[in-house]
Amino acid sequence: MTPHFIRQLVIHTICNVTGASHKEVATLEWVKLNTRDWEQVFSRLEATLDIQTGMLISVERSFSIETLMHALYAKLTDNIVT
């Protein structure tokens, strides 16, 4: 799974939860979500990627898509058994 694919998955998930357009979300430097949307986005990402991010319990409700993409990619590659 490439970082680009993960970025697109994050954007797609945010769009599905919030109803925002792909273009709108893709251009955001920071994404700020209410609690319900936060929980939905991270529950879906964790379920899709089969990982635990710890983000569901975070009190912060905003993030950079780029930073999240790199964190998810690192988490996924750490879970690969070679």
28-66 tens-digit pLDDT: 999 999 999 999 999 999 999 999 988 988 888 999 999
CB atoms within 10 A of CB 9: 17
Closest C-alpha to 15, from 35, 41, 34, 39 = 41
Could you list the residue range(s) of the whole structural domain that residue 18 is in? 3-76
For the question of whether the overall pTM of this predicted structure is more than 0.85, the answer is yes
Residue 44 within a domain? yes
In a domain, 82, yes or no: no
Residue 15 lies in a domain: yes
- Say if 43 falls within a structural domain: yes
Classify residue 47: in a domain, yes or no.
Answer: yes
Does some domain include residue 81? no
- With respect to residue 60, please indicate whether it lies within any of the assigned structural domains: yes
What is the domain count for the chain?
1
Outline where the chain has alpha helix (H): 3-18, 22-26, 35-49, 65-78
